[in-house]
Structure 1
């Protein structure tokens, strides 16, 4: 009888630990949307890179009315936005200037 109680207690402990591990391994986004809303309605955009708790790139959009939803980073419209951001960043980054050092030779006459 004591072995059965010990076995049941061990089983319950293992199940509790497994559930706790499953909860900590979840992504923020359970469902994603393909549609993008008007930029005027957006209050904040969070880009969550892959991590130990979720191996996916996640994009969370917060609207001014308090709603939040996730966008599909693999959707065609999101890929276009990513490309335009990269291009804009390239244009904003100044090109390195060649160093111009002037060597003046002082001659005493």
Structure 2
């Protein structure tokens, strides 16, 4: 069975047209990836908080102020075993821990 003339003579897209199409797809993929990163960063990190933890287990503390990502202050402590826990910034024990850490850095 012979091929029809229209199928054999179908024009191919020029190289620059294919390159432009690939570039368009690449830009769309990069834009989507960038939007996904922004969405995951624009939210609160702490869903549940602890009232406190003994300071000897804490390696470091990160305090994040309220902003467009989250409407509340977040206190995230990294423990010496590598685990991260969220602490309640309104808790008296957490306030004492933060005060101790701030004063520790100011004593020269």
Instruction: Name the TM-score, length of structure 2 as normaliser.
Output: 0.50
Partner Cα distance (1:46, 1:23) in 2: 19
C-alpha change, 1:85 and 1:61, in structure 2 (3 Å) is closer
Specify the alignment match of 1:26 in structure 2: 43
Deviations 1:77-101 (A, max 9, x none): 1233455567x48x859xxxxxxxx
Specify the alignment match of 2:63 in structure 1: 47
RMSD: 2.9
Deviations 1:26-79 (A, max 9, x none): 20101000121232x222211111110101110001112121100000011123
Partner Cα distance (1:84, 1:58) in 2: 18
The aligned length equals: 71
Unpaired runs of 5+ residues, structure 1, are 1-19, 94-109
Is residue 71 of structure 1 aligned with residue 72 of structure 2? Answer: no
SS in 1 for 2:60: strand
Task: Select the structure that is richer in helix.
Answer: 2
Instruction: Name the TM-score, length of structure 1 as normaliser.
Output: 0.50
Question: Do the aligned partners of 2:52 and 2:94 also contact (CA within 8 Å) in 1?
Answer: no
C-alpha change, 1:47 and 1:38, in structure 2 (3 Å) is same
Match of 2:54 among 37, 49, 52: 37
SS in 2 for 1:61: strand
Partner Cα distance (2:72, 2:99) in 1: 19
